[in-house]
């Protein structure tokens, strides 16, 4: 598929946006990413561009849970490929954009600007996404300057996210056609912990789809859009032993129980570069939350993970405050990440 975009800053040269298919120029794409990204990120090997290419080729991400699909867009100048951007579609109406990369001989000539103008317009106007966001290394001056100039706003700084000593800035832009809801829309939904006490947490080795969905669905529904049975199926599938690799997006389930009943659950996701993400992370009581988090932190330490971080609706004030008392700090507030009006906190702890 290709879309012609009228030329502006590139003067009389012909600019063309193509939805990039894996069979074309995939070696160029791989080489560019493998040259640029390891400057800022650890554990980026061939499996990283390979999995983007195969997901973009199939139109869906077979290993994603919040991710529903990936696309690659390329800019061609007078028929020559000049750069790429990856787009990752998320449940709840957001899209993650990046990496965006331009071949060195084409830089500072407006190529990335033209590419992202066209792709962002497509996402906002044609696909109707509510929000575009990304993370950029604080060490990557050109990418930061480029995206700030485009009007993206800083939503936080993720400490040592993908590498020891390397922080990531979260940048976001809401669709100008959508009216942002007041963040106080969350007020009516602010849940309080119930009483609890006898909770015990452990890895859930043989998770039941029905039990997981029955616990998480009503508790996620106020804060996340677009979550249906396929979301829970993808979590259970990712817990298989054979999936415990980055390119297969392996995950684990850690749960708390009291008298046999689920009282808390976290999806534990190892990330390239040594962090672990907990998302979703839901608990009914302080006791259930505390034992859940303690168990996840112990697991992360036993696996030699450098950092653990949690995605938590900012309406969950008691849970956020508990995490604060357990050594986590707020690193970002992602505006309206998974549902209009619902912001998501990122709380992180760098493990010694």
Ligand X SMILES: CC(C)(COP(=O)(O)OP(=O)(O)OC[C@H]1O[C@@H](n2cnc3c(N)ncnc32)[C@H](O)[C@@H]1OP(=O)(O)O)[C@@H](O)C(=O)NCCC(=O)NCCS
CB of 110 to ligand X, least distance (A): 5
Q: Is 238 in contact with 250 (CB distance < 8 Å)?
A: yes
Q: Does 107 bind ligand X (CB under 6 A)?
A: yes
d(CA 196, CA 284): 8
- If the CB atoms of residues 40 and 338 are measured against ligand X, the closer one turns out to be 40
How big is the site for ligand X, counted in residues (CB under 6 A)? 21
Closest to ligand X by CB, 128 vs 142, is: 142
Q: How far apart are CA 146 and CA 227, in angstroms?
A: 33
- The H-assigned helical ranges of 122-268 are 141-149, 209-220, 229-238
Interface residue with ligand X among 110, 156, 270, 274 (CB under 6 A) is 110
Q: Phi-psi bin for 70: left (phi > 0), alpha (psi -120 to 50), beta?
A: beta
Q: Is 345 in the site for ligand X (CB under 6 A)?
A: no
Query: How would you class 202 by CB atoms within 10 Å of its CB: exposed for 0-12, middle for 13-18, buried for 19 or more?
Result: middle
CB of residue 84 vs ligand X: minimum separation in angstroms? 9
Answer for which of 26, 55, 71, 140 binds ligand X (CB under 6 A) is: 140
The whole-angstrom separation of Cα 227 and Cα 109 is 42
Looking at beta carbons only, is 150 or 183 nearer to ligand X?
A: 150
Site for ligand X in 13-72 (CB under 6 A): 36
CB neighbours of residue 106 within 10 Å: 17
Phi first, then psi: give them for residue 27, nearest 5 degrees: -65, -40
- Near ligand X by CB under 6 A: residue from 30, 54, 69, 109: 109
Token pair, residue 150, equals: 């485009």
Stretch of 62-70, 109-117, 200-208, 302-310 contacting ligand X, by CB under 6 A: 109-117
Q: What is the DSSP secondary-structure string of 89-124? A: EETTSEEEEEEEEE-GGGTTTTHHHHHHHHHHHIII
Query: In this chain, which of 136, 235, 238, 299 binds ligand X, going by CB under 6 A?
Result: 136
Residues 185-224 that bind ligand X (CB under 6 A): none
Name which position in 102, 288, 312, 345 contacts ligand X (CB under 6 A): 102
Which of these segments, 60-68, 95-103, 262-270, 286-294, binds ligand X (CB under 6 A)?
95-103
Closest CA to 238 of 255, 254, 250: 250
Residue 161 binding ligand X, by CB under 6 A: no
Query: Can the peptide bond before residue 258 be classed as cis, meaning omega within 30 degrees of 0?
Result: no
Helix 26-36 to helix 47-58 angle (10° resolution) is 140
Nearest CB to ligand X, comparing residues 62 and 141? 141
User: Applying CB under 6 A, which of residues 47, 113, 138, 333 lies at the interface with ligand X?
Assistant: 113
Considering the rule CB under 6 A, would residue 300 count as an interface residue with ligand X?
Answer: no
| Helix axes of 209-220 and 229-238: crossing angle, nearest 10 degrees | 130
Q: Among 23, 79, 105, 108, which residue interacts with ligand X (rule: CB under 6 A)?
A: 108
The DSSP letter of residue 125 is I
95 contributes a contact to ligand X by CB under 6 A:
no
Quick one: which H or E segment has residue 312? Answer: strand 307-313
Cα radius of gyration rounded to whole Å, the chain: 21
Kindly state the smallest distance separating residue 74's Cβ from ligand X, in Å: 13
CB of 135 to ligand X, least distance (A): 8
Stretch that binds ligand X, among 138-146, 174-182, 263-271, 321-329 (CB under 6 A): 138-146
Nearer to ligand X, 108 or 205 (CB): 108
Residues 261-280 that bind ligand X (CB under 6 A): none
Taken as a whole, the chain contains a residue count of 352
Q: Which of 8, 121, 145, 209 binds ligand X (CB under 6 A)?
A: 145
The site for ligand X (CB under 6 A) is made up of 36, 98-102, 107-113, 136, 140-143, 145-146, 149
């Amino acid at each position: 598929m290709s879309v012609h975009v009228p030329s502006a800053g590139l003067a009389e040269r012909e600019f063309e946006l193509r939805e990039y298919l894996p069979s074309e120029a995939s070696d160029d794409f791989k080489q560019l990413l493998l040259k640029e990204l390891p400057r800022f990120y650890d554990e980026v090997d061939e499996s990283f561009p390979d999995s983007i290419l195969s997901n973009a080729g199939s139109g869906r991400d077979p290993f994603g849970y919040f991710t529903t699909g990936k696309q690659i867009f390329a800019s061609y100048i007078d028929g020559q490929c000049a750069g790429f951007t990856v787009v990752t579609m998320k449940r709840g109406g957001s899209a993650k954009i990046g990496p965006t990369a331009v071949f060195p001989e084409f830089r500072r000539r407006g190529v990335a600007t033209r590419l992202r103008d066209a792709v962002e317009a497509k996402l906002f106007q044609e696909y109707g996404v509510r929000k575009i966001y990304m993370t950029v290394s604080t060490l990557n001056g050109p990418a930061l300057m480029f995206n700030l100039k485009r009007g993206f706003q800083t939503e936080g700084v993720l400490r040592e996210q993908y590498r020891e000593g390397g922080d990531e800035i979260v940048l976001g832009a809401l669709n100008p056609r959508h009216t942002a809801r007041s963040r106080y829309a969350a007020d009516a939904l602010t849940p309080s912990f119930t009483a609890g006490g006898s909770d015990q947490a452990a890895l859930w080795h043989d998770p039941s789809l029905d039990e997981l969905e029955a616990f998480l669905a009503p508790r996620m529904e106020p804060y996340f859009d677009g979550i249906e049975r396929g979301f829970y199926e993808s979590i259970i599938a990712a817990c298989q032993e054979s999936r415990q690799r980055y390119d297969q997006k392996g995950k684990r389930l850690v749960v708390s129980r009291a008298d046999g009943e689920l009282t808390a659950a976290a999806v534990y996701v190892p990330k390239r570069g040594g962090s672990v993400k907990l998302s979703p992370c839901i608990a009914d009581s302080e006791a259930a939350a505390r034992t859940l988090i303690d168990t996840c932190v112990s697991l992360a330490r036993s696996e030699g993970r450098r950092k653990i971080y949690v995605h938590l609706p900012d309406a969950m004030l008691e849970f956020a405050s508990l995490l604060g008392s357990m050594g986590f700090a707020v690193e970002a507030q992602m505006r309206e990440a998974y549902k209009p009006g619902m912001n998501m906190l990122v709380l992180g702890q760098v493990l010694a």
